[in-house]
Amino acid sequence: MMKRRSWQEYQKEIADDNYYYARSCIRQNFFPGSEKAFIDILHNDLGKDLLDDPKHSSCTGIGYHSDIVPLETIMTVVARQFSLMNDAGYKNFVTSCITSFGIYNEILATWEEFPETEERTREYLYKATGREFRKPQSLAHTSDVVFHFREEIARRARHLLVNATTGEPLKVVEHIGCHYAKIFPKSGIGGSEFPYVLAGMIESWGGEVVDYPERRHCCGFGFRNYLVQANRGYSIANSHKKLESMAPYKPDFIVANCPGCAMFLDKWQYTIAEMEGTTYGENGHGIPVLTYEEMAGLVLGYDPWTLGMQMHQVDVEPLLDKMGIEYDPAAKYLGRNGKYIGKPASAVVNCCPTDTIYDIRE
Amino acid sequence: MAAINFGYTISKPRAIDLDRNNLRKSDEILHEMPELQTCIGCGACTAVCTAGNLTDFNFRRTHTLVRRGEYEGIYAEMNKCMLCGKCRLVCPRGINTRAVVMLVKRKLGDF
């Protein structure tokens, strides 16, 4: 519902079909099932065409933001991705990473403002690879695409973001990530001022968004703030500030848009618990942190262990129980083909209700 | 003390948290010198300050921190004032700035 005219400025066109998919370089390590879940949801549940091209590379965004990769180099790498998309016959570029999304937006805007940089990039790309490129017709983040189909997903929902016992909506903290809409506010749904991309999914799937004071605060990743060990105190202080601010609202889980944010909001909970003994979730444990693909996957009835949720720092079982999702506790640390993948040591942020079962299998 | 040495600790934010700071002393000071509330923070006091010319004393900064409940090191800071009173001559609100210095020192001697 459009209540204010200014809200219209924050809408964006999202293509309906035929996507060229650019993966993140770090997500596979932290939330390994999320990208696969996105592909499965688009292919199997929504019947859309999406190309997962093995030829594309990292966008080199982390190197760029750490002052290791020069601007000319990253522009040429991005131009190569667009060239690969042209080769495959696609026009709608979809990226799975907020850093990459910011990079693509920044470079397209730079080419627009300073056409000579685009000409130079064309020259570099041709000299390096013999390739030419056309810019994409549309650029979207994967969460934009999930947002676009949120009502369709709601119609197919097997579980809602509702407490199965009480019928109350789950309280969800959403975090859109700085590079989604703070660099170019008009390129993200709702901008950074009215972050709606995840809030829209939560509302459509029955949950309740927590509007807490530090909702728009950075998670603390900030590239060189984290990459240099001596600076990490500053990085963790940002997550600490957010967690302190959201805890009084007793959120059932956090959903994050960005690979870095999901990782830091999840793993810093462990570090804060070790350093200060503070935990923010129920019963002295942590608050589960999900990616939006995992949230969509749970709503559509995917198995939590297929979604890779055993790789989280904070255990997700309390959330699964609340939503009334059935899962096999003994299968948690069994990878593909039933092979035992090892399990993390117990930590105060985890609840570990079935520790003994895994020990027997070990 | 953490059992694990991570090589870093959680940095303290530099933001002033008015919800957590104890404003009792600040309120007492404002109660005794309500004219301090009319300060517009122009910094004329600091601009003409002789002590500020010779040391890093900054009267505007110091009394603003007191009003926000940041008392640490304030007594030592106010001791840099040599009570010449030139700040009183330029204050556009006519605040008795020298009396503010004396009052803050009396109230915050322990900090």
Give the span between the Cα atoms of A51 and A43, in whole angstroms: 10
Would you say residue A356 has pLDDT above 60?
A: no
pTM for this model (two decimals): 0.84
Would you say residue A285 has pLDDT above 80?
A: yes
- Render pLDDT for A232-270 as a digit per residue (tens, 0 to 9): 999 999 999 999 999 999 999 999 999 999 999 999 999
Give the span between the Cα atoms of A60 and A76, in whole angstroms: 11
Give the span between the Cα atoms of A305 and A328, in whole angstroms: 9
The answer to whether the CB atoms of B12 and A237 lie below 8 A apart is yes
Which chain A residues touch B18 with a CB distance below 8 Å? none
Report the share of chain A in percent with pLDDT over 70.
95
* Residues 207-236, chain A, touching B (beta carbon < 8 A): 229-234, 236
pLDDT at B111: 66
Would you say residue B91 has pLDDT above 60?
A: yes
Q: How confident is the model at residue A357 (pLDDT cuts 50, 70, 90)?
A: very low
Return the residue of A nearest to B11 by Cα: A233
pLDDT at A160: 96
- Render pLDDT for A157-206 as a digit per residue (tens, 0 to 9): 999 999 999 999 999 999 999 999 988 888 899 888 888 999 999 999 99
- Render pLDDT for B21-79 as a digit per residue (tens, 0 to 9): 999 999 999 999 999 999 999 999 999 999 999 999 999 999 999 999 999 999 999 99
Give the span between the Cα atoms of A166 and A164, in whole angstroms: 6
State which H helix or E strand residue A209 sits in: strand A208-209
Residue B58 neighbours by CB distance under 10 Å? 18
Four-residue CA torsion sign, A162, A166, A167, A168: negative
Tell me the C-alpha to C-alpha distance, in Å, between residue B17 and each of A241, B23, B65.
Answer: 12, 11, 12
pLDDT at A18: 95
Per the prediction, chain A carries an average pLDDT of 92
Better-scored residue on pLDDT, B3 or A312: A312
pLDDT at B42: 96
ipTM of the assembly?
0.74
Return the residue of B nearest to A269 by Cα: B10
Give the span between the Cα atoms of A269 and A240, in whole angstroms: 8
Question: What residues contact residue A278 under an 8 Å CB cut-off, 6+ apart?
Answer: A272
Spatial contact of A292 and A262, defined as CB atoms under 8 Å apart: no
pLDDT at B37: 94
